[in-house]
Amino acid sequence: MAGLQQTNSEKILLSWVRQLTRNYPQVNVINFTTSWSDGLAFNALLHSHRPDLFDWSAVVSQQSPVQRLDHAFNIAWQHLGIEKLLDPE
């Protein structure tokens, strides 16, 4: 039962992320691994809540995946108090 409950929780979380990022055509969240590796999903999630914190088009067009991940983690830490738990590398 614990495995089934986790699966349902993951589906709910993925659905929530998809809903929040649906207006970002460059973002396609289908799982918790490869969908996050280019940094766009993290940034879109932040931007969907606080679009005043950064220019979305600059993040999409001018940064590498590592830079985008670093950007998202720094914004989350500096403006939202979310600890950096992952290393962009």
Residue 75 counted as domain residue: yes
Tell me the whole-structure pTM to 2 decimals. Answer: 0.86
d(CA 81, CA 52): 16
| pLDDT tens readout for residues 5-62 | 557 888 899 999 999 999 999 999 999 889 999 999 999 999 999 999 999 999 998 7
Domain range enclosing 49 = 8-80
Residue 64 counted as domain residue: yes
CATH number of the structural domain spanning residue 61: 1.10.418.10
Side-chain-facing half-sphere of 35: CA atoms under 13 Å: 14
Tell me how many domains the chain contains.
Answer: 1
Residue 55 counted as domain residue: yes
Tell me the pLDDT band of 73, cut-offs 50, 70 and 90: very high
